[in-house]
Chain A
Amino acid sequence: MNYWVAFQTLVIKEILRFSRIWVQTVLPPAITTALYFVIFGTLIGSRLGEMDGYRYIDFIVPGLILMAVITNSYANAVSSFYQAKFQRNVEEMLIAPIPHWVILAGYVCGGVARGVVVGVLVTIVSMFFSDLSIHSYGITLAVFVLTSVLFALAGFINAVYANSFDDISIVPTFVLTPLTYLGGVFYSIDLLPPFWQEASLFNPVLYMVNAFRYGLLGVSDIPISTAFHIILGFIVALFAFALYLLKKGIGIKS
């Protein structure tokens, strides 16, 4: 059995899926982010002065790019796998001799592909508003890819447990969005009172946003090595948990 072919098939299928509906999947984040840049960056941001030694609009660029990556990696995995469950075409994979890790890797790569496409598009949009410079290509790329892997895994797990379309929107609305907005996308945690600074350290998104900001601007509220350890730790834990769910057939087998 050629697992590489099965993996390729899954990834191609996933990329074609979100490409066919690009008006719903790729275009909206670009427009939303452009609005963020206009409103928070240009109109309001010009009155705010500097943050961590950067113009406000330059400061929020990394967070906004990463926010798009997070949202889209998650959305792709959760909607695609839940639809496969809902339409029962997940059975196409379950009856085939594909190991669970290949199924998982296929969906995660589909999520990463959408996260990367949207992230690149948002980066291009940001260039119209900000003088984007890259402090470290390696860190920028690593955080970009690892973050999308992490949230594609999280989206996949959400889809496994989801029993209705409501279930796939609850986590993004009530968990993901607050964590992202409170993860230092629009502000440095140095601005917060000490208690909230401590509380923010329990938000994993903070580490990703700061690591990415470090890659682009060279500034961060937290040590970069801590950020990488946390991101990798989450990836390993979520990957193992998702594999366990697939092996047990939770949410997909009776």
Chain B
Amino acid sequence: MKALEIHNLEKTYANGPHALRRIDLEVEEGDFFALLGPNGAGKSTTIGIICSLVNKSAGAVEVFGNDLDLAPERVKSCIGYVPQEFNFNPFEPVAEIVINQAGYYGIPRTEAKRRAEGCLKQLELWGKREEQARDLSGGMKRRLMIARALVHHPRLLILDEPTAGVDIEIRRSMWDFLHQINASGTTVILTTHYLEEAESLCRNIAIINDGEIAERAAMHEMLRRLHQQDLVLDLREPVDEAPVVDGYPISRTGPCTLEVLVPPGHDLNPLFDGLSAQGIQVLSMRNKQNRLEQLFLNMVKNHREHSA
């Protein structure tokens, strides 16, 4: 079953700009889906329309087979939404925010309290339940929004840049948590500017640019399309100039650092053999740029050139 189906979705804001131009998108039930794009590409508008926060200009949205125009309440019941910016009342106690949200979904207060306790414990906020939300740290506020989005047990969880501005430790723990949520059967749609986050979490991906879907594919398929890899090698001993290895353009970026462009389909063994033959020992190796990031930049650039 499709968790989300979008057909010919259009949005034109009152002040003129076309935010979305006839978008088509499908997300399978159980998927972990990334919606990527540069700032202003139309990601948040798309999500806003799905979540009934933005009025669409044209097109259709279906969530688990329920049409947004015909059965908006059924659509809303299926969705949990974690927005980009904090949107809770900062003066309300943490537990009350989650309990009230459950109430808006028709969950009676006793059950709402039980669920809120579960969600807050899961996200390690139970100890803060009586504090006002404004007193939480940035990472805690993000987790509070996730707890609030999960309290009614949504089948589709939409996260709009959920880890923006949180430290790496919290981000990793949120990744683990989102993995668990997805493994339990919840479909997850994620927008993020951290492309390693999308690469690590998501199975399918769509790239949106200038209000159009520039690309839609499985993550592994997308990464396979990467034309070349840009590797950085850290050396044991300094070198005076860049060594030459046939088929591998190498540049020297520091006394002990080389940068190698590995063409698609090339193994790394000949590269290391060539370096060893010249007495160069490699201590460590890493991608210069996140692979998805490189691909993303290429696609956005190509799409812009094509549109122009």
Give which listed residue, B14, B48, B89, B104, contacts A98 with CB less than 8 A: B104
Residue pairs across A and B with CB atoms within 8 Å: the count is 86
Query: How far does the alpha carbon of A83 sit from the alpha carbon of B88 in the complex, in Å?
Result: 11
Q: B77 near A89 (CB under 8 angstroms)?
A: no
Asked if B79 lies at the interface with its beta carbon under 8 angstroms from chain A, I say yes
Query: How far does the alpha carbon of A9 sit from the alpha carbon of B152 in the complex, in Å?
Result: 15
Q: A87 near B90 (CB under 8 angstroms)?
A: yes
Band of interface residues on B: 20 to 34
Asked if B137 lies at the interface with its beta carbon under 8 angstroms from chain A, I say no
Query: How far does the alpha carbon of A70 sit from the alpha carbon of B103 in the complex, in Å?
Result: 29
For window 159-213 of A, CB contacts with B under 8 Å fall at: none
Asked if B53 lies at the interface with its beta carbon under 8 angstroms from chain A, I say yes
Q: B104 near A92 (CB under 8 angstroms)?
A: yes
Q: With A96-B104, A97-B106, A98-B104 in contact, is A89–B89 under 8 Å at CB?
A: yes
Q: With A89-B87, A91-B87, A95-B79 in contact, is A5–B108 under 8 Å at CB?
A: yes
Q: B87 near A5 (CB under 8 angstroms)?
A: no
Q: B55 near A13 (CB under 8 angstroms)?
A: no
Q: Mark A14-53, 1 if CB is under 8 A from B, else 0.
A: 0010001000000000000000000000000000000000
The minimal Cβ–Cβ distance linking B106 to chain A, given in whole angstroms, is 4
Q: B55 near A254 (CB under 8 angstroms)?
A: yes
For window 50-75 of A, CB contacts with B under 8 Å fall at: none
Asked if A84 lies at the interface with its beta carbon under 8 angstroms from chain B, I say yes
Asked if A249 lies at the interface with its beta carbon under 8 angstroms from chain B, I say yes
Give which listed residue, A87, A91, A99, contacts B73 with CB less than 8 A: A99
The minimal Cβ–Cβ distance linking B101 to chain A, given in whole angstroms, is 6
Asked if B100 lies at the interface with its beta carbon under 8 angstroms from chain A, I say yes
Q: B100 near A5 (CB under 8 angstroms)?
A: no
Give which listed residue, A3, A6, A16, A91, contacts B53 with CB less than 8 A: A91
**A253 contact set on B, CB distance < 8 A:** 53-55
Asked if B272 lies at the interface with its beta carbon under 8 angstroms from chain A, I say no
For window 139-173 of A, CB contacts with B under 8 Å fall at: none
Q: With A6-B103, A8-B103, A84-B89 in contact, is A97–B108 under 8 Å at CB?
A: no
Q: B104 near A6 (CB under 8 angstroms)?
A: yes
Q: With A91-B83, A97-B72 in contact, is A2–B108 under 8 Å at CB?
A: yes
Asked if A134 lies at the interface with its beta carbon under 8 angstroms from chain B, I say no
Q: B77 near A97 (CB under 8 angstroms)?
A: yes
Query: How far does the alpha carbon of A94 sit from the alpha carbon of B281 in the complex, in Å?
Result: 61
Q: A96 near B55 (CB under 8 angstroms)?
A: no
Q: With A13-B100, A94-B52, A97-B72 in contact, is A3–B106 under 8 Å at CB?
A: yes
Q: B55 near A9 (CB under 8 angstroms)?
A: no
* Additional pairs, 7, CB under 8 Å, beyond known A89-B89, A96-B101: A9-B104, A87-B90, A92-B101, A94-B52, A97-B72, A254-B53, A254-B54
- 15 A–B contact pairs at CB < 8 A? A5-B103, A5-B106, A8-B103, A9-B109, A10-B104, A87-B90, A89-B87, A92-B101, A95-B51, A95-B76, A97-B76, A97-B104, A97-B105, A249-B55, A254-B48
User: Contact residues of B with A, CB < 8 Å?
Assistant: 13-14, 48, 51-55, 72-74, 76-77, 79, 81, 83, 85-91, 96, 100-101, 103-109, 148
